[in-house]
Amino acid sequence: MKEKIDAIQAEALARIAAADDARTLEEARVGILGKKGTLTEVSAGMRDVPKEQKAEIGQLLNASRSAITAALETKQSALQDAADAQALAGIDATLPARPVHHGSLHPLTLIRHQALEVLRRMGFALADGPEIEDEFHCFDALNTPADHPARNEKDTFYFDSGKLLRTHTSSVQIRTMENQAPPIRIIAPGSAYRRDEIDATHLSVFNQLEGLYVDRDVSLGDLKGTLEYFFREMFGSETEVRFRPHFFPFTEPSFEIDVKLHAKGQAPKWIEVAGCGMVDPAVFESIDAGRKDDAFSPEKVTGFAFGMGLDRLAMIRWGIKDIRLLIENDVRFLRQFA
């Protein structure tokens, strides 16, 4: 038995040394250590070995198996090194590697995170709602009359079912008030859709951020102070902000907010970034009618609402001249934010 094991080991080592490719080496491994391999068959004969010799023969078998396994691993490593060397033939491995370009978050994601961080520090909580809306939550509940231009098919994307792609995230404010009593202080970021002509400052799909604060004795001064603080936290303490009287069906009084844009190579100019105002009592009355209570009675509460385009905030934050750059996925543009 000892002589047989020694002979198998010697033959196996010679066969492994002669293997010149991975396939030949694998055939040698199977022929020696496989289920029907030569060493495996000898191991099966251990049951016929006299009891007093079992320990010695067992040690010999284990030593032989270890030697053959080590030889297989060494040969496999040598074959792999040879294959690698052949693959690298003619290549100068000492040349510097190509630089790895690091990615970053999209500028719209960056500005969204920054805006939410500022507003959450001010006590606003996140709220969400569907992008496919009905006319009640998008228009009726917001005191928007049936003949308002925003409800025209030329301005809004309608489905055959009568539903529509929300034109603003104000619908989230309505849904929140339907399910929650004052005090309410929420922000609703998300996509909005309008049939706008696409140009340097308009897109048909844009990213909006709206806010709502309802409580006792909320004033216009609270609104103005909140938004001035917000924009100066976003763009710096020297940021110029102006409020212009405007009209929105769901707020009274209402204002549009402009921030001065300083784009490289252009003269500074005012750009509209937000609309805001005190919540119209008609909106509160509509909410109470749906809730069947007086939680939002104009005699008890007041509130303010605001909405802004995150795309335009990004333009101001980084001096971007054309809003279309934010959706074109031009790597040369996006690389500036890495």
Q: Are residues 201 and 306 in the same domain?
A: yes
Q: Which two tokens stand for residue 247?
A: 């009209």
Q: Are residues 189 and 113 in the same domain?
A: yes
Q: Are residues 191 and 82 in the same domain?
A: no
Q: Are residues 157 and 302 in the same domain?
A: yes
Where are the extended beta strands (E) located within the chain? 125-126, 132-133, 164-165, 184-193, 205-215, 241-248, 251-261, 269-279, 302-309
Q: Are residues 71 and 160 in the same domain?
A: no
Q: Which two tokens stand for residue 257?
A: 């907010």
Q: Is 274 left (phi over 0), alpha (psi -120 to 50) or beta?
A: beta
Assigned domain for 200 exists:
yes
Where in the sequence is the domain holding 246, given as residue range(s)? 107-337
* CATH code, 216: 3.30.930.10
**Number of structural domains in the chain:** 2
Assigned domain for 96 exists:
no
**Local confidence band at 63 (pLDDT 50, 70, 90 cut-offs):** confident
What value does the mean pLDDT of the chain take?
88
Q: What's residue 1's pLDDT? A: 64
**How far, in Å, are 5, 40, 68, 118, 188 from residue 124 at the CA level?**
80, 73, 71, 9, 10
Q: Are residues 263 and 307 in the same domain?
A: yes
Rounded percentage of the chain residues whose pLDDT exceeds 90:
46
Q: Are residues 79 and 112 in the same domain?
A: no
Q: Which of 39, 55, 87 is the last residue of a domain?
A: 87
| Among 48-57, 197-206, 222-231, 241-250, the least confident range | 48-57
Task: Specify the residue for token string 């500074």.
Answer: 268
Q: Which of 57, 87, 117 is the last residue of a domain?
A: 87
Whole-number Å distance between alpha carbons of 32 and 24: 12
Q: Are residues 141 and 285 in the same domain?
A: yes
Q: Are residues 65 and 124 in the same domain?
A: no
Q: What's residue 263's pLDDT? A: 67
Whole-number Å distance between alpha carbons of 6 and 200: 85
pLDDT of residue 266 exceeding 70: yes
Assigned domain for 316 exists:
yes
Q: What's residue 285's pLDDT? A: 94
pLDDT of residue 88 exceeding 80: no
pLDDT of residue 81 exceeding 90: no
178 labeled part of a ligand binding site:
no
Whole-number Å distance between alpha carbons of 77 and 83: 10
Give 6 or 280, the one with higher predicted confidence. Answer: 280
Residue-wise DSSP of 118-135? HHHHTT-EE----SEE-H
pLDDT of residue 102 exceeding 70: yes
Q: Which of 87, 115, 146 is the last residue of a domain?
A: 87
**How far, in Å, are 76, 85, 86, 176, 274 from residue 191 at the CA level?**
57, 54, 55, 17, 15
| Among 16-25, 48-57, 307-316, the least confident range | 48-57
Assigned domain for 277 exists:
yes
Q: Are residues 70 and 119 in the same domain?
A: no
For the entire predicted model, the pTM comes to 0.68
Q: Are residues 177 and 29 in the same domain?
A: no
Assigned domain for 269 exists:
yes
3-state secondary structure of 113: helix
Q: Quick check: 240 and 268 in contact, CB under 8 A?
A: no
Q: What's residue 20's pLDDT? A: 86
Mean pLDDT to the nearest integer, 144-171: 88
Assigned domain for 100 exists:
no
Q: Are residues 285 and 139 in the same domain?
A: yes
Mean pLDDT to the nearest integer, 57-64: 78
pLDDT of residue 186 exceeding 90: yes
pLDDT winner (highest mean) among 11-15, 32-36, 58-62, 127-131: 127-131
Whole-number Å distance between alpha carbons of 176 and 129: 9
Q: Quick check: 179 and 185 in contact, CB under 8 A?
A: no
Assigned domain for 238 exists:
yes
Assigned domain for 114 exists:
yes
Per-residue pLDDT of 109-157, as tens digits, reads 999 999 999 999 999 999 999 999 999 999 989 988 888 888 888 889 9
